[in-house]
Amino acid sequence: MNSAIHRQRRSFGAAVVLAAVALVAACGPAAAIAPATGAGKSAPGCQTTAPPPQATLNNVRAASLTVPAAPFGLAYARSGRTAFVALRTELGVLATDTFPPRLVRTIPLPAESLGKSGATGLALTHNGSSLLVATGRGAIVLDAAKAEVGMPGAVLGTLTGTVGTSAIAVTVSPDDRFVFVSQEYGNAQTGGRGAIEVFDLRTALGGGFGPGTVVGSVALGKAVVGSAISSDGRWLYATSQLTPDGTGGQGQLGVLDLTKLETNPSGALLRNVPAGCNPVRVAPAPDGKTVWVTARGSNALLTSVQVGSAPVGLTFTRDGARIVTADSNRFDTPGATTGLTVVDTRAALAGKPANLGRIPTGTLPRELAPSPDGTTLLATNFGSRQIQALDTTTLP
pLDDT tens column, 111-127: 999 999 999 999 999 99
CB atoms within 10 A of CB 232: 12
Does the pLDDT of residue 36 top 70, yes or no?
A: no
With bands split at pLDDT 50, 70 and 90, how would you rate the model's confidence at 304? low
H or E element in which residue 346 lies: helix 345-349
Most confident of the following: 4-18, 33-47, 159-173, 243-257: 159-173
Give the mean pLDDT of 235-239.
Answer: 97
Distances (CA, A) of 269 to 8, 100, 259, 265, 345: 26, 41, 11, 8, 28
Does the pLDDT of residue 80 top 50, yes or no?
A: yes
Beta-bridged to residue 279, according to DSSP, are 295
Q: How far apart are the first and last CA of the chain?
A: 39
CA dist 264 and 280 (Å) reads: 25
Does the pLDDT of residue 296 top 50, yes or no?
A: yes
Residue 96 has phi, psi (to 5 degrees) of -105, 15
CA dist 261 and 255 (Å) reads: 11
CA dist 292 and 237 (Å) reads: 10
Does the pLDDT of residue 21 top 90, yes or no?
A: no
With bands split at pLDDT 50, 70 and 90, how would you rate the model's confidence at 26? very low
Q: What percent of the chain is predicted at pLDDT more than 70? A: 87
**Per-residue model confidence (pLDDT) at position 73:** 98
**Per-residue model confidence (pLDDT) at position 45:** 73
Q: Which of 254, 353, 303, 282 is nearest to 295 (CA)?
A: 282
Q: What is the pTM of this model?
A: 0.91
Does the pLDDT of residue 11 top 70, yes or no?
A: no
**Per-residue model confidence (pLDDT) at position 306:** 84
CA dist 244 and 239 (Å) reads: 12
Does the pLDDT of residue 12 top 70, yes or no?
A: no
Does the pLDDT of residue 263 top 90, yes or no?
A: yes
Residue 204 has phi, psi (to 5 degrees) of -60, -45
CB atoms within 10 A of CB 259: 13
**Per-residue model confidence (pLDDT) at position 333:** 87
- What kind of architecture, by CATH, is found in domain 15-394? 7 Propeller (2.130)
Does the pLDDT of residue 41 top 70, yes or no?
A: no
CA dist 92 and 76 (Å) reads: 12
**Per-residue model confidence (pLDDT) at position 42:** 59
CA dist 106 and 65 (Å) reads: 15
**Per-residue model confidence (pLDDT) at position 25:** 27
Beta-bridged to residue 103, according to DSSP, are 94
With bands split at pLDDT 50, 70 and 90, how would you rate the model's confidence at 44? low
Q: How far, rounded to the nearest angstrom, does the alpha carbon of residue 117 sit from its chain's CA centroid?
A: 16
Distances (CA, A) of 129 to 26, 77, 122: 36, 9, 14
**Per-residue model confidence (pLDDT) at position 327:** 95
CA dist 379 and 370 (Å) reads: 9
Does the pLDDT of residue 383 top 70, yes or no?
A: yes
H or E element in which residue 257 lies: strand 250-257
CA dist 207 and 22 (Å) reads: 40
With bands split at pLDDT 50, 70 and 90, how would you rate the model's confidence at 43? low
**Per-residue model confidence (pLDDT) at position 47:** 77
Give the mean pLDDT of 45-66.
Answer: 91
Q: Is 27 exposed, middle or buried, given 0-12, 13-18 or 19+ CB atoms closer than 10 A? A: exposed
Does the pLDDT of residue 8 top 50, yes or no?
A: no
Most confident of the following: 38-42, 182-186, 272-276: 182-186
**Per-residue model confidence (pLDDT) at position 14:** 25
Q: Which amino acid is at 146?
A: K
Structural domain boundaries in the chain: 15-394
Out of 19-33, 135-149, 276-290, which region has the weakest mean confidence (pLDDT)?
19-33
With bands split at pLDDT 50, 70 and 90, how would you rate the model's confidence at 29? very low
Residue 255 has phi, psi (to 5 degrees) of -115, 115
